[in-house]
Amino acid sequence: MGRISGARNRNHDETRSRLLASVAQQMLMSGGSHPSMRVLAEGAGVDAGTLRHYFGDRQGVVQAAFEYLLKFGQERQAWAKTLADLSAREAFSQLLGQVAAAWSGALGGMHATGFAEGMADSEIGQIYVSSILEPTLSSVEELLIVFHTRGELSVPNARVAALALMSPVLLALFHQHQLQGRRCRPLVMEHFIEQHLDGFLKGYAKS
């Protein structure tokens, strides 16, 4: 008996997952270069028509890739919560150090792709913000609330404080890596993080 009209092939989900993993990896490695549908398809070993069959247009491909990458954001969020038992300085030193260490791998590619794709398409931008950027900020906010409650820091607004902690580090990493700023103004990230953390903790010290 023939396949029922509208039914999927037996290996549809497996093939889609394999293509999605390949596309997501390419986007991480692209450094925010906004690869075309044809380039993504070639990297996955298929033609553009195959990607359109499984994901629709390019926006559908990118949206699916970010949803696939969401699990990495969730894993990082879960790890950040384990730092709550440490002192504020040790917790944030580890957190920022991990971000810097992972940036040259998948993490930097994830954020660079999110910025590049998100600024070209607001719907994709929303997916990046909700699946990658906000989970990171939320983890920091939760830690700040813990340290405020514990009496280590004075944090009247956790969201503002989280942005104040993370924004300079993310900008420095973009400057050094994706924008190749290390060629003209190299920065020792370990020293930068420690000096930034000194200022941050001083500003939010319990009076």
Q: What pLDDT is stored for residue 3 in this prediction?
A: 43
Nearest CA among 197, 74, 73 for reference residue 147: 197
Mean pLDDT of the chain: 88
Specify the DSSP class assigned to residue 85. G
Cα separation, 140 vs 170, in Å, equals 14
Q: What ranges in the chain are assigned the alpha helix state H?
A: 12-29, 37-43, 48-55, 58-81, 88-102, 108-120, 122-128, 134-150, 158-176, 189-203
Helix axes 12-29, 108-120, angle to 10 degrees: 100
Contacts of 61 (CB under 8 A, 6+ apart): 23, 37, 40, 51, 55
Tokens of 65: 């890739």
Q: Could you identify the residue written with the tokens 């730092």?
A: 83
Distance between CA 125 and CA 188 in Å, rounded?
Answer: 30
Provide the β-strand partners of residue 144: none
CB 142 within 8 A of CB 153: no
What local confidence, expressed as pLDDT, does residue 74 receive?
Answer: 72
Cα–Cα dist 26/34, whole Å: 10
pLDDT at 6: 47
Both tokens of residue 115?
């910025």
Mean per-residue pLDDT pooled into runs of 10, the chain (207 residues): 49 89 83 81 91 91 82 74 94 95 85 87 86 87 96 97 97 94 96 98 93
**What is residue 87's predicted lDDT score, i.e. its pLDDT?**
96
DSSP, collapsed to helix, strand or coil, labels residue 157 as: coil
